[in-house]
Amino acid sequence: MSKPSPPSCKWRSTTQKKEKMQKIGSNIKKIKKGYSSSNPLRNCINNTQHCSYSDYQSHHSFSKDVIFTNESGIDVMNNGLLNKGTSFSKTERDRLGIRGLIPPTVSNIDTQLMRLKERFSTIQTDIEKYQFCTQLHDRNETLFYYFIVNNIKELAPIIYTPTVGKACENFSHIFRKPRGMFFSTLDKGEMKSMVYNWPVEEVDVIVVTDGGRILGLGDLGANGDGIPIGKLSLYVAAGGINPGRVLPVLLDVGTNNEKLFNDPLYLGLRQKRLTGPEYYELVEEWVDAIVSRWPNVLIQWEDFSSDKADALLQKYRDRILCFNDDIQGTASVILSGVLNCLRATGQSFSDITKQKILIVGSGAAGMGVVSGLKEAMKREGLTEEEALKNFYIVDKDGLLTSERLNEMGSTLSDTAKMFAYARNDMKEGSSLLDVVKQAEPDILLGMSSQPGLFCEEVLTYFNSACKRKGKTPIVFPLSNPTSKAECTAESVFKITDGNAIFASGSPFNPVPLPNGQVIQTSQANNMFAYPGVGLAAVLSGCNTISDNMFYAASKSLAATVSDEALKRKEIYPHVEDIREVSKKVAIGVMRQAYYEGNAKKLKHLPKEFIDSDIEMDKYVSTRMWTPKYVPIVVKD
**Domain presence at residue 35:** no
**Domain presence at residue 123:** yes
Angle between helices 141-149 and 152-159 (to 10 degrees): 120
**Domain presence at residue 95:** no
Q: What is the pTM of this model?
A: 0.88
**Domain presence at residue 456:** yes
Instruction: Give residues with Cβ within 8 angstroms of 108, minimum separation 6.
Output: 87
Instruction: Give residues with Cβ within 8 angstroms of 288, minimum separation 6.
Output: 191, 192
**Domain presence at residue 171:** yes
Could you tell me if 326 and 372 are in contact, meaning their C-beta atoms sit under 8 angstroms apart? no
Instruction: Quote the CA–CA distance of 268 and 161 in Å, as a whole number.
Output: 22
List the one residue out of 586, 578, 589, 594 whose CA is nearest residue 620.
586
> pLDDT per residue over 523-550, tens digit each?
999 999 999 999 999 999 999 999 999 9
Q: 47-56, 539-548, 615-624: which range is least confident on average?
A: 47-56
Predicted pLDDT of residue 65: 79
From 475, 507, 524, give the residue that closes a domain: 524
From 284, 304, 324, give the residue that closes a domain: 304
Binding-site sequence positions for a divalent metal cation = 302-303, 326
Q: Write the single-letter amino acid at 106.
A: V
Q: Indicate if 440 and 491 belong to the same structural domain.
A: yes
> pLDDT per residue over 351-363, tens digit each?
999 999 999 999 8
Predicted pLDDT of residue 2: 41
Predicted pLDDT of residue 409: 57
| 36/526: higher pLDDT | 526
Residue 63 has pLDDT above 70, yes or no: no
Could you tell me if 245 and 284 are in contact, meaning their C-beta atoms sit under 8 angstroms apart? no
Q: Indicate if 541 and 431 belong to the same structural domain.
A: no
C-alpha 120 chain-centroid distance: 25
Confidence of residue 214 (pLDDT cuts 50, 70, 90): confident
**Domain presence at residue 422:** yes
Q: Indicate if 124 and 251 belong to the same structural domain.
A: yes
Catalytically annotated residues:
160, 231
- If you average pLDDT over residues 138-157, what whole number do you get? 97
For residue 282, the domain's CATH number is 3.40.50.10380
**Domain presence at residue 80:** no
Predicted pLDDT of residue 481: 85
Q: Indicate if 348 and 493 belong to the same structural domain.
A: yes
Predicted pLDDT of residue 194: 98
Predicted pLDDT of residue 411: 77
- If you average pLDDT over residues 77-103, what whole number do you get? 95
Binding-site sequence positions = 213, 302-303, 326, 480, 525
Q: Indicate if 394 and 283 belong to the same structural domain.
A: no
For residue 463, the domain's CATH number is 3.40.50.720
Predicted pLDDT of residue 413: 86
Query: Tell me, what DSSP letter sits at residue 18?
Result: H
Cα angle: 562, vertex 564, 567; to 5 degrees: 115
- If you average pLDDT over residues 105-126, what whole number do you get? 97
Predicted pLDDT of residue 408: 58
C-alpha 149 chain-centroid distance: 16
Q: CA torsion 159→628→581→328, rounded to 10°? A: 50
> HSE on the CB side for 541, CA within 13 Å?
9
Residue 53 has pLDDT above 70, yes or no: no
Predicted pLDDT of residue 255: 97
Task: Write the CA distances from 583 to 65, 237, 328, 588, integer angstroms.
Answer: 21, 12, 19, 9
Instruction: Quote the CA–CA distance of 319 and 205 in Å, as a whole number.
Output: 16
Which domain, by its residues, includes 577? 528-621
Number of domains in the chain: 3
- If you average pLDDT over residues 16-28, what whole number do you get? 43
Whether the link from the prior residue into 103 is cis, omega within 30° of 0, is: no
Predicted pLDDT of residue 406: 85
Instruction: Quote the CA–CA distance of 514 and 366 in Å, as a whole number.
Output: 35
Q: Indicate if 182 and 227 belong to the same structural domain.
A: yes
Element (H, E) at 251: strand 246-252
Mean pLDDT of the chain: 89
> pLDDT per residue over 563-581, tens digit each?
999 999 999 999 999 999 9
Q: Indicate if 283 and 343 belong to the same structural domain.
A: no
From 524, 541, 573, give the residue that closes a domain: 524
Q: Indicate if 520 and 535 belong to the same structural domain.
A: no
Instruction: Quote the CA–CA distance of 249 and 206 in Å, as a whole number.
Output: 7
Q: Indicate if 457 and 540 belong to the same structural domain.
A: no
> pLDDT per residue over 427-459, tens digit each?
999 999 999 999 999 999 999 999 999 999 999
Instruction: Quote the CA–CA distance of 204 and 242 in Å, as a whole number.
Output: 8
Looking at the chain, the whole-number percentage of residues with pLDDT higher than 70 is 89
Residues in the chain: 636
Residue 626 has pLDDT above 80, yes or no: yes
Strand locations in 368-514, DSSP E? 391-395, 398-399, 443-446, 474-477, 501-504, 511-512
- If you average pLDDT over residues 284-300, what whole number do you get? 98
Q: Indicate if 344 and 478 belong to the same structural domain.
A: yes
Q: Indicate if 167 and 237 belong to the same structural domain.
A: yes
Binding-site sequence positions for (S)-malate = 213, 480, 525
**Domain presence at residue 64:** no
Instruction: Give residues with Cβ within 8 angstroms of 187, minimum separation 6.
Output: 194
Predicted pLDDT of residue 256: 96
Looking at the chain, the whole-number percentage of residues with pLDDT higher than 90 is 83
Which contacts qualify for 169-175: CB closer than 8 Å, 24 or more apart? 169/217, 169/220, 169/223, 170/127, 170/223, 171/220, 171/222, 171/223, 171/224, 171/225, 171/226, 171/267, 172/222, 172/223, 172/263, 172/265, 172/266, 172/267, 172/268, 173/265, 174/127, 174/131, 175/267
Q: Indicate if 546 and 452 belong to the same structural domain.
A: no
> pLDDT per residue over 464-512, tens digit each?
999 999 999 999 999 988 889 999 999 999 999 999 999 999 889 999 9
> pLDDT per residue over 182-206, tens digit each?
999 999 999 999 999 999 999 999 9
List the one residue out of 450, 426, 424 whose CA is nearest residue 440.
426
- If you average pLDDT over residues 214-226, what whole number do you get? 93
